[in-house]
Amino acid sequence: MLFSTRAEYGVRLMVELGRQEDGAPVALSAVAESERLPLSYLEHLVAKLRKAGLVSSQRGAHGGYRLGRSADEIEMLEVVQALEGAIAPMECFQADPEGKVSCSHETDGDQACATKLLWTRVQGGVTKALAGTTLAELVEFSDQHAPASAERRTAATAA
Amino acid sequence: MLFSTRAEYGVRLMVELGRQEDGAPVALSAVAESERLPLSYLEHLVAKLRKAGLVSSQRGAHGGYRLGRSADEIEMLEVVQALEGAIAPMECFQADPEGKVSCSHETDGDQACATKLLWTRVQGGVTKALAGTTLAELVEFSDQHAPASAERRTAATAA
DNA sequence: GCATAACCGACCATTCCGCTAGGATTTCCT
DNA sequence: AGGAAATCCTAGCGGAATGGTCGGTTATGC
C-alpha cells in the first residue's frame, strides 16, 4: 500500500468540503456521517490540513470547516503531503523543492547508488500525478457520479 | 515512505547480480558484504525473488544466485511487486492485469468514489515509472558511477 | 566427510496505523 | 446567564507491519 487511510479519508474530507458551494462551514460530524468515517479520527486528520492552511475552521456552535482557498487552486499533492508527510519512495530518499534528490547512502563521496535512478523516476511519476490533479477535478467527478449526496446528508438524520 | 527497505535491498541485490557478466552464481554473503546488508535478512528477500522466477539458485558449495533471465528483459515493476506485493496506492484499491481498477467502497451499486480518479492516476504514474525501467538500465548506471565495486569486493576482505 | 552455501521456520523488538477517550475552549442561541 | 454545539488538544491502546536474528536442515563441491 503506497498510502494509508489518512490520505484516503483526508481526500474524501476535502472533496466533501469542496462540494459546499456557499461559504457556510461544514461541521466535521456531517462529513463523518455522510462518508461513514469515525469522527474522532477525522479530527486528527483535519488538524493536519488546517496546519497546512488547506482548510480554515470556525469554532463554536454552527462552526465547522471550509476550504482555505478555491478548490481549483488546491493541488492534491499538497493535500496528500499534509496528511502523509513528505512523499519519498524510500527511507534514504529526500527531495528538495527543486526536485533534486539526495540519498543517504551517498556518504563518503560515493555518489549515486544505482537505485537512485529508479526511485527518482517513481518519485516523479507520483508527484506528477498528484500535482496534476486539483481538488476541483475531484469535486466535479464526485458531483457527476454521486449527485444524491446532498439529499443523503439531510436524509441521514431520519435514518 | 512509499516503499519499505525490502524494495531497496532487493533492488540492490538484483543490481549486484546483474553486474556479474559471466554466468557464475554469486553467493548471497558476497552481496551482503559489498552492499553492507544483513545476510539473514537478504535470505528472506531473495526467496521472494526466486519464487517470482526473477533469480535462480544453485545450492551447495560454490553455489549462489544468478538472474532468472537477461537483465534487459527484467522490468523493475516485477521486481518491486515480488518484494512488496501488489502495488496499490490504497487499501481499497485493486487493479486487475488490464489496468482496470476497483474500489471496495463501491459496494451497494454506489459507483466510483471520487478518490478513485486520483488513485488511478497515481497508480498509473508509479507503475509506468517502474515498468519503464529495466534492470539493465540500473546495472549500467551502477557500472558508470561505481566501477570500483569489483575491486572493492575483493579488497573488503583485507579491510 | 567436511566446508560451504541455499533453504526454512520461528521468534522478537520496535514502530506505525487506526482509532477511542476525555477533556478544555470557543461560539451561537435563547 | 447558561446550555448546546462545535473545534481543539493530549494521551493512550490493540493490532499489524517492519526489520531483523537465530537455529537448524538440506544440497553440493572438493
Does strand D come within 7 Å of the CB of A158?
no
- How many C-beta neighbours within 10 Å does residue A108 have? 6
Given a cut of 80, whether residue B109 has pLDDT beyond it is no
User: Do the chains contact at B129 and A139, CB–CB below 8 Å?
Assistant: no
The CB-side HSE value for A139 (13 A sphere, CA atoms) comes to: 21
Mean pLDDT, 10 residues at a time, over chain A (159 residues)? 96 97 94 97 98 98 98 98 94 70 59 84 97 98 72 44
**Spacing of B20 CA from C15 C1' in Å:** 37
Query: Which run of H or of E encompasses B7?
Result: helix B5-18
* A9, B108 contact by CB (below 8 A): no
* B80, B60 contact by CB (below 8 A): no
Residue whose C-alpha cell is 518519485: A123
Label residues B110-119 b or e (16+ Cβ within 10 Å = b): eebbbbbbbb
Compare CB distances from B138 to A4, A90, A114 and report the shortest one's residue.
A114
Compare CB distances from B115 to A11, A122, A125 and report the shortest one's residue.
A11
* B88, B94 contact by CB (below 8 A): yes
Nucleotide nearest to A8 (CA to C1'): C18
**Spacing of A87 CA from D14 C1' in Å:** 28
What's the mean pLDDT in B25-50?
98
Does strand C come within 7 Å of the CB of A4?
yes
Distances (CA, A) of B37 to A151, B47, B67, B103: 57, 16, 19, 37
Cell of A59: 469554532
Q: State the smallest CA–CA distance between residue B125 and chain A in angstroms.
A: 4
Residue whose C-alpha cell is 515512505: B1
Nearest alpha carbon to residue A110 among B139, B148, B14, B135: B148
Distance CA A64, CA A24 (A): 8
User: Do the chains contact at B111 and A145, CB–CB below 8 Å?
Assistant: yes
Given a cut of 90, whether residue B128 has pLDDT beyond it is yes
User: SS3 helix, strand, coil % of chain B, rounded to 5?
Assistant: 50, 10, 40
Q: Kindly report the CA angle at B139 between B63 and B145, in degrees rounded to 5?
A: 120
User: SS3 helix, strand, coil % of chain A, rounded to 5?
Assistant: 50, 10, 40
Considering the entire predicted model, what is its pTM?
0.90
Strand D nucleotides, any atom under 7 Å to a protein CB: 3-11, 17-23, 26-30
Does strand D come within 7 Å of the CB of B59?
yes
What's the mean pLDDT in B17-39?
96
Given a cut of 90, whether residue B156 has pLDDT beyond it is no
**Percentage of chain B surpassing pLDDT 70?**
81
